[in-house]
Structures are given as C-alpha cells and as structure tokens.
Structure 1
Amino acid sequence: MVSHPAYAVTAELDVSVETRDGIELATDVYRPADPETGEPIDEPRPALLDRTPYGKRGRMERHGQWYAKRGYVVAIQDCRGRFDSGGEYYIFVDEPEDGYDTVEWLAGQEYCDGQVGTFGTSYGAWVQTALATQDPPHLEAMFVNQGAANGREATFRHNGAFELRWLCWALTLGGGFAQRALEDTDVQQRLANVDVRAVLENGPVLPGQSPLRHIPDYEEWAFDIMTRGGANDELWQEPGVNFAAYYDEMADVPTVYSGAWYDSYTKATCDNFEALAERKESDHYLLMGPWTHGWNTYPLPSWNKSYSGELEFGEQALRDYQETRLRFFDHYLRGEDTWNDQPPVQYFQMGTGDGSRTRDGRLFHGGEWRSSEEWPLAETERRTYYVHEDGRLSTDEPTVEGSSTTYRFDPRDPVPTIGGNCSSYITYEQRDEPILEYPLSERKMEDITGRGGFDQRTRPDTLGADEPYGPLEERTDVLVYRTQPLEEDLAIAGPIRVRVYGSTDATDTDFTAKLIDEHPPSEEFPNGAAINISDSICRGRFRGYRDEPDFLEPGAIYEFEMEPYPTANVFRAGHRVRLDISSSNYPRYDVNHNTGGPLYGDRESQVATNTVHHDAEYATHVELPVQPR
C-alpha cells in the first residue's frame, strides 16, 4: 500500500546550494512535519529532487507539498541562471555537475537518510539523466518522464535537421523568463510582444537582429544549436546534451523511463531504456502511453488526457501520475511492496477503437495497455513494405527497372506540420495590456502546430497554409503510397525504419517520411481520416547519421535513412497503411534551402527537383514492427 498523506509540511525557502565553481543555486526544501505541532519530524527521510528552469514556486510548490505530506523530503531547485539561482544560463551544459553537487548536498543534510531519488518531466527529465552521467554516490532511484538521449540525433537536431521548437522555446518560456527579462520589464515586454508565428514565417532569424538580441546569452545558445551540426563539435559531446555517449559511466540505479507515443521525446525515451536496461544491473522500466508532451497539472488525478489531438483513446488511457511515481519511490527508497508486480515494459497499444465520433468531435481510436519483458518486443516480425510506381505500398518487392517519381520542392512553400510529436511550438497570446498590468506568467500559450494525431488536412489555423484548405496528399510535393484495404487487423509496436532512395539536382536537400493510419469513409467521417502515426526527416548532407557534412552530387542516387519515432498502433481491418514522402514538414523541422549553404540562416534558396526511386535496384521502403495476431 502506498504512503498516505499523514504529515503536515514545513518549508525552508531559497536555501542556497553552492556548486563546485561557487555558484549558488536557490532551492526550496519541503519536509514532513508533525500534524499537531507543525514542527519538522526528527527522523531522517529519503529525499526527492526536482530541478526546473520554470520557477520553483506555484505548481512546483504544490508538487513538493504533495510528497512531503507522504513522508518524503522534497527539494525543488531553480536551474543555474534561471529565476533565483546564480550563474549564467547556457542550455543543459552545466546541469550534470550542478545536479551531482545538489544530490550530494541533499544527502548530507541531517533530515535526509542518505537516499536521494530524482523526478521531473521534459527539462526536468533532461537534468536527471545529465546528473546520472556523473554517478553521484547517493543517487538511489530516478523517474525520468519524457527526456532526451542524444540531442544531436533526435532532440535539438533530428537526423541533420533542426527542431524549430527550440527557437520557439527560446522566444517564450525560455527568454520570457530569463533573468534579464525578469529584472527589466522593458525586455520582458519586448519578448511578450513577439508573435512566434510571424518570426517563423519571416525567418530565418539572424544573430543581432532576432528578438533574442535583448538577451544575448540566449541568442548565443540558440544559434549554436541551430548552426552547429557536426558530431565532432564539442557541443554535441557534452554530457548534458548527449547522454548516449556516457551510458557506460551512468549511475546504476532503479529507473523508470516514461513517455508517450505523441511526445517530442518518444525515440529518446525508448533508446534510453533499451540501452541502459541491457547495460545496468538495477531494475529499469519503460512506460509508454498514448499521450502528448507533459502531464496534467496537480491536483488532477490523470496522467495527461484521454486524447491526443483529434484522437480519443478512452478512460483506459488514463494513469495517475503522482501515485505511479509514489509507488515506485515507496518501493525503492522505503522498501514497501508497492512495485513488485510492475512488468519491465508497459505500453498502450493504440487503434483498437471503432473509429466513431465522440461527443466532442474526436475520432475514437481507442486502445489497451499491454506488457512485456523487453523492448523491442521479443516476437516482433520486421515486415518490409515497398513503394511502387502506381502508388501501392506492398510487401511485394519491385521488379521493374529504372522506376522513379519526381517532384519539385520549393523551400518557400513547405509542407505544413499538422500535429505529431510536437512540443513547445508555442507563442504567447498577443495583448494590448502591458506586462505590468497583465504579467507574462498569466498569459495564455497558443499552440502553433498542434500535437498528437490529426487528420492530415490543412485548416485556417495551419501555419503556412492558404485557401482552399484540404488534404496534404493533394499537394504536388507529397508522394503518397498506400496498401490495399487490410483484410485483417495489423498490429505494430516498436521502432520503425524508412529507407528512401533519392536523388536531387541540388547539393543538399531533405527527404521526409510520415506513417499514416488511413481510416475509410464512414457515416460520421464521410471523407475518412488520414491520421499521422509517426514521422521523420533526413538532411542530405548528414545522411546515414554522418559525423560531418558530405554534400550531394546532383543526379546521384543516395540512401536516405530515417527512423520515425517508435509507436504501438493497430491498423484495423478495412484501413490502409500509408507512407507519405516529401522534403519538408514545417515548422516541426527547419526548411532546407537546397543551396548547400549554412545549416541555418541562409537567405538564398532554390527549388530542388527531387526524385524517389522505387525499382528492383533502389527499392524505397518502410520496415514495420509487426506483432503476432
């Protein structure tokens, strides 16, 4: 049985934790207290650490109280250079050592029994894995929700391209609450006035001319991750940025890697579990739901929502986030029998719903929880589906010679992003009231791309879309390949791989791939629905995950390898499996200007004539992780 709220709470705010280089990190400490006297209990207790760039008060304060009432010491800390902590902010680079120093400081306090667990989501997950690369002696357990693995391969950058969410984050949640912005209302007002949609549409931004010029340290790191692509660049070897390079040195402690099929960290979450469960002796767990990025604000009892974008999964998708973490820590830090029956892998198999329309207009995609002893799943069949010149997607290998399809890719008219594995593609609502009257912390965030599963058709709020709105498949720069209607259900769960054999008349270009569950027309959805399941991109100069750029020879045929994020979905009988191939997905990824110029900031562009090959020698295909019936 999990711990109950048996205690009062006492808090010591803005405690200074000094790091090895003398920087003071502001930390709030919540402790269990006697319900009658309100005095902190004498008995040392396990401590939980949550490090955040978003301010340690408000929601985080309630967060600390929740666990302290259940007998834990809870430390919530502002990361270096954020809010009340000292030092200069450069995203993630200082987090390994700062985290290590905080864990050891916390373990040495008289109210801690020497055991420290960590938790946190998104940025709070990054910093956990960052400190784990340093192997703090008193780190005993981690619950890592939606965090990174290798920032260059699939987080900051993605197979050579840049995930524009980080520019959006820098302009909003990052820059808007930078210390200079908090200290100078004029600077914060300037950032509040930024419509990120306009910045993206008028981009690329340039150093010294972007809204980030008012906070130069943020402009520096933002342009570093946008413009530095080579793996040998020291940035991509930092232990706070590339955890995969430090797996062998990482702390060996019980860990949960939790995530979601429509999260921006889906691949990283699965990669971390797969690599570390094999390397480490301690218990490791993978928990993947059908959700998008983040989790519901306390005190709501559900783990995220029962829907993602336009898809509804039903109440069976809900999980109690706080209770799940509590069961984990009660077991590994307090010796309770609260986690004994937890399988190593739990995942939500999407797609078993009937496709009906729910009361709020969503498509009922449904699903159910399943478990396994390992990931990828043991009985997986790697089934290859090939694209054909007539638009078929089939397990039959092409036998024709010299077959290909060509399209024009115009960087000035990229394919719009409609949902998917997106987070932080946001802007603040535009208000006439000044910051002093309507603070930034109270302003609504407006989503730019959507997140989750969506019917792949443009609408009035789609960035970059013009009338007449309609299906993306009608664009001339989107190649569509689909199976015949399935005669029986097809269940997939695991990693996905795509190989596009492509050529171009440019010195650099991109190819994209998107896996789609194509629902047939029905009475409630007369046009059917093309639901995005997973996607990826490959930048030509970095094809094959090259360490350094290698530009393309016009006309030559290359293999463009892509790894759409892992997923678990049932394509129901009557549905079609569809693969869309193009050269852009904007603003999920930055747009290749096809010139071979700088990775970001090129003001020149050219239309590329790109060709996808689908013949006996160059058989473009997708490899799906098919599960037994």
Structure 2
Amino acid sequence: MVSQPEYAVAAELNVTVETRDGVELATDVYRPADPDTGEPIEEPKPALLDRTPYGKRGRMERHGEWYAKRGYVVAIQDCRGRFDSEGEYYIFVNEPEDGYDTVEWLADQAYCDGQVGTIGTSYGAWVQSALATQDPPHLEAMFVNQGAANGRKATFRHNGTFELRWLCWALTLGGGFAKRALEDSDIQQRLANTDVRALLEDGPLHQGESPLRHIPDYEEWAFDIMTQGSASDELWQEPGVNFEAYYQESADVPTVYAGAWYDSYTKATCDNFEALAERKDSDHYLLMGPWTHGWNTYPLPSWNKSYSGELEFGEEALREYQETRLRFFDHYLKEEDTWSDQPTVEYFQMGTGDGSRSRDGRLFHGGEWRSGEEWPLPDTEFESYYVHADGRLSTEKPTVDDASTTYTFDPRDPVPTVGGNCSSYITYEQREENILEYPLSERKMVDLTGRGGFDQRTRPDTLGAEAPYGPLEERDDVLVYRSEPLEEDLEIAGPIRVRVYGSTDGPDTDFTAKLIDEHPPSEEFPNGAAINLCDSICRGRYRGYRDEPDLLEPGEVYEFEMEPYPTANVFKEGHRIRLDISSSNYPRYDVNHNTGGPLYGDREYRTATNTVHHDAEFATHVELPIQPR
C-alpha cells in the first residue's frame, strides 16, 4: 500500500542553498509535521528534489505539500537566474553542478535520511539528467518525465534544423520571467506585447533587433542555439545539454523515463531508456502514454486527459501521475512493495478504436496498455515500405532503373505545421491592459501549432495558411505515398526510420517525412481523416548526422536519413499507411532558405527544385517496427 496522507506540512520558504561558485539558490522546503502541533517531525525522511525555472510557488507548492503529507521531505528550487535565485541564466549550462550541489546539501540536512530522489517534467526532467551526469553520492532514484537526451540531435536542434519552440519559449515563458523582466515592468510589458505569431510569420529574427534585445543574456543563448549547428561548438558538449555524451559516468540509480507519443521529447525519452538500461545495473523503466507534453497542462494534467489533439483514446488512457511517482519512490526510498509488479516497459498501443465521433467531436482512435521487457520490443520485425512513381507505398522494392518526382520548394511559402510532437509554440494573448492591471502570470497562452494527432488539413487559425483551407496533400510541394487499404490490422511499436534519396539544384535544402494513419471515409467522417503519427526532417548540409556541415552538389543524389519519433499504433483493416515527403514543416522547424548561407537569419531566399528518387538504386522508403499478430 502506498504512503497515505498522515502528516501535516511545515514549510520553510526561500532557504538558501549556496553552490560551489557562491551563487545562492532559493529553495522552499516542505517537511512532514505532527498533525496536532504542526511542528516538523524529528524522524529523518527521504527527500525529493524538484528544480524549476517556472517559479517554485503555486502548483509547485501544492505538489510539495502533497508528498510531504505522505512522509517525504520536498525541496523545490528556483533554477539559477530565475525568480528568487541569484546568478546569470544561460539555458541548462549550469544545471549539472547546481543540481549536484543541491542534492548533497539536501542529504546533509538533519531532517533527511540521506536518500534523495528527483522529480520533474520537461525543464524539470532536463535538470535531473543534468545532475545525474555528475553522479551525486546521495542520489538514489529519479522519475524523469519528458526530458532530453542530446540537445543537438533532437530537442534544441533536430537533424540539422532548429526547433523553433525554443525561440517561442524565450519570448514568452523564458524572457517574460527573466530576472531583469521581473525587476523592470517596462521590459516585461514589451515582452507581454510581443505577438510571437506575427514574428514567426514575418520570417527570421536578427540579433540586436529582436524583442529579446531588452534582456541580452537571453538573446545570446537563443541565437547561440539557433545559429550553432556543428558538434564542435562547445555548447553541444555541455553535460547540461548533451547527456548522451556522459551516459557512461552518469549515476546508476533506479530511474523511470516517462513520456508520450505526442510529446516533444518522445525520441529522447526512448533513447535515454534504451541506452541506460543497457549500461546500468540499477532498475530502469520506460512508460509511454498517448498524451502530449507536460503533466500540469491546463485545464487537465496530460496524464489525466483521454485525448491528444483531435484524437480520443478513451478512459483507458488515463493515469494518475502523482500516484505513479509515489509508488515508485515508496518502493525505492521506503522499501515498500509498491512497484514490484511494474513491467520494465509499459506503453499505450494507439489505434484500436472504431473511428467513431466522440461526444466532443474527436475521432475515437482508442488504444490499450501493453508491456514488454526491453525497447525496442524483442519480437519486433523491421519492414521497409517503398515509395513508387504512381504514389504507392509498398513492401515491394522498385525495380525500374530510373524514376523520380520533382517539386518546387519556396521557403517563403513553407508547409504549415498541423499538430504533432509540439510544445511551447505559444504566444501570450494580446491584451490592452498593462502587466500591473493584468499580470503576465495570469495571461492565457495561445497555441500556435496544435499538439497531438490532427487531420492534416489547414484551418483559419493555422499559422501560415490562407483560404481556401484544406488538406496539406493538395499542396504542390507535398508528395504523398499511400498503401492499398489494409486487408488486416497492422500493428507497429518502436522506432521509425526513413531514407529519402533526394537531390536539389542548389547548395542546401531540407527534406521532411511524416507518417500518417489514413482513416477511410465514414458516415461520421465523410472525408476520412489523415492522422499524423510522427515526423522528422533532415537538413542537407548535416545529412547522415554529420558533425560538421558539408554543402550539397547540385543534381547529385544523397541519402537523407531521418528518424521520426517512435510511436505505437494499429493501422486497422481498411486504413492506409501513408508517407508524406516535402521540404518544410513550419513553425515546428525553421525553414531552409536553400542558399547554403547561415543556419538561421539568412536574409536571402532561393526557391529550390527538389527531387525524390524511387528506383532500384535509390529506393526511398520508411522502415516500420512491425509487431507479431
């Protein structure tokens, strides 16, 4: 039985934790207390540490109290340079040492029994993996929910491109709550008045001219990650940014890597589990739901939502986030038998629903929980589906000697993003009130891309789309390849790989790939539905996961390797497997100007003529992780 809420809570706020370089980090400590007197109990208890850039009060305060009532000391800390903590903020770079110092400070307190576990989602997951690279002696367990693995490979950047969510974050949740913005109402008002949607529609920003110029340290790191793409750049080897480079020396403690099929960290979550479960002796677990990013998203926590985007999964998809973490920590920090029946891999297999319309208008995609002992699942058979000149997607490899399809890619008119593995593509609602009348912390966030599964058609609120709105497949720069209607259900679960054999007429370009479950027309959905499962992109100059750029020779055929994020889905009988190939997906990724110029901020544009090859020698294909029936 899990720990029950048997204690009162005693809170000590803004406790100072001094780091090795003298910076003081503000930390709130919640302790179990005697229900009658309200005084902290004397018995030492295991501690949980949550480090955040979003302010340690509000919802964070409430979950600190939740665990303290159940017999844990909980420390919630403002990261360096954020809210009440001292220091200069450069995203993630100081988190390894700051986290280590805080773990060891916490373990040394009389009210802690020497065991420290870590918790946190998104940024709070990054900082856990960051401190783990330093292997703190008193770190005993981690619950890492939706965090990164290698920032250059897939999170900050993605196969050579930049994930524009980080610019959106810098302009909103990042910059709006920067120390300088919190201290200067004029700066905060300027950021509150920034319409991120308009900035993205107007094209790339330039350093010294962006709204971030009012907080220069934020503009510096934002432009660093947008403009630095080579592995030799010092940023990409920092232990707070690239955990993959420090797997071997990282802490060997029981860890849960939790994530979601429509999260912005899906690949990183699976990568971390796969690599560390093999390298470490401690128990490691993978838990993947059908959700989107975050656990405390409005109006419901993502784990407590039965839908993602336009897809409904049913009550089967619901999980209690706090209870799940409590079971884990009770087992590993209190030696209770609360986690022993947890499978090593637990994941939600999407797509078992009947495709009907739910009460709120979503498509019932359905699904059910499955389990396994490793990832990828041991019985997985990887099968290639090849694209053909007539638009077919088939397991038959092309036999023709020369076949290709050519399209025009205009970087001024990129393919719009419609849902997917998105987070932080946001702007503050535009209000007439100033921040004193309507504080930034109370302003609603407007989603610019959608997140989760969506029918791949534009709407009036789709960024970059114009009337008449309609299916993305109708664009001239989107190549569509689809299987015949399936004669029986096909189940996939695991990593996805795409190989596009492409050529272009200039020095650089991008190729994109998107895997789609194409639902047939029905009475409730007469046009059917093209539901995105996962996507990826490859920037030509960084093809093959190059460490350094290598521009393209016009007309030469190259292999553009992509890894759309892992997924688990049943393509039901009568559905089609579909692969869309293009050269942009905006604003999920920044747009290649096709000039071979700067990675970001190029002032020149060049329309590219791009070609996808599908013949015996250059057989473009997607590799799917097929599960046995």
Name the TM-score, length of structure 2 as normaliser.
Answer: 0.99
Do structure 1's residue 170 and structure 2's residue 170 form an aligned pair?
Answer: yes
Change (3 A) 1:302 1:433: closer
* C-alpha contact (below 8 Å) 1:176/1:192 kept by paired residues: yes
* C-alpha contact (below 8 Å) 1:301/1:320 kept by paired residues: no
Aligned match of 1:556? 556
* C-alpha contact (below 8 Å) 2:30/2:74 kept by paired residues: yes
Aligned match of 1:333? 333
Quick one: percent identity of the two aligned structures? 87
Aligned match of 2:236? 236
CA distance in 1, matches of 2:375, 2:550: 33
AA of the residue aligned to 1:132: A
Aligned match of 1:26? 26
- Aligned residue runs from structure 1 range 123-522, under 5 A: 123-296=123-296, 303-522=303-522
- Aligned residue runs from structure 1 range 534-549, under 5 A: 534-549=534-549
CA RMSD of aligned residues (A): 0.9
Partner deviation per Cα, 1:475-526 (whole Å, 9 max, x = no partner): 0000000000000000000000000000000100000000000000000000
CA distance in 2, matches of 1:559, 1:66: 52
* C-alpha contact (below 8 Å) 1:152/1:242 kept by paired residues: yes
CA distance in 1, matches of 2:370, 2:474: 37
Change (3 A) 1:549 1:297: closer
Q: What is the deviation of 1:302?
A: 7.3
Partner deviation per Cα, 1:151-188 (whole Å, 9 max, x = no partner): 00000000000000000000000000001010000000
Partner deviation per Cα, 1:530-575 (whole Å, 9 max, x = no partner): 0000000000000000000000000000000000000000000000
Aligned length: 629
CA distance in 1, matches of 2:430, 2:440: 11
Q: What is the deviation of 1:297?
A: 5.7
CA distance in 1, matches of 2:476, 2:358: 33
Partner deviation per Cα, 1:76-117 (whole Å, 9 max, x = no partner): 000000000000000000000000000000000000000000
Q: What is the deviation of 1:402?
A: 1.0
Q: What is the deviation of 1:301?
A: 8.0
- Aligned residue runs from structure 1 range 113-128, under 5 A: 113-128=113-128
CA distance in 1, matches of 2:617, 2:128: 46
Q: Which runs of 5+ in 2 are unaligned?
A: none
* C-alpha contact (below 8 Å) 1:163/1:590 kept by paired residues: yes
Q: What is the deviation of 1:232?
A: 1.1
- Aligned residue runs from structure 1 range 573-588, under 5 A: 573-588=573-588
Do structure 1's residue 101 and structure 2's residue 101 form an aligned pair?
Answer: yes
Partner deviation per Cα, 1:431-480 (whole Å, 9 max, x = no partner): 00111000000000000000000000000000000000000000000000
Partner deviation per Cα, 1:277-333 (whole Å, 9 max, x = no partner): 000000000000000000146996872410000000000000000000000000000
Aligned match of 2:90? 90
Q: Which runs of 5+ in 1 are unaligned?
A: none
* C-alpha contact (below 8 Å) 1:134/1:250 kept by paired residues: yes
Structure 1 residue runs of 4 or more that deviate by more than 6 Å after TM superposition: 298-302
AA of the residue aligned to 1:201: E
Partner deviation per Cα, 1:347-388 (whole Å, 9 max, x = no partner): 000000000000100000000000000000000010100000
AA of the residue aligned to 1:613: H
CA distance in 1, matches of 2:312, 2:178: 37
CA distance in 1, matches of 2:203, 2:474: 26
AA of the residue aligned to 1:317: A
* C-alpha contact (below 8 Å) 2:294/2:302 kept by paired residues: no
* C-alpha contact (below 8 Å) 1:59/1:298 kept by paired residues: no
CA distance in 1, matches of 2:368, 2:130: 33
Name the TM-score, length of structure 1 as normaliser.
Answer: 0.99
- 3-state SS of 1:327 partner: helix
CA distance in 1, matches of 2:139, 2:609: 54
- 3-state SS of 1:248 partner: coil
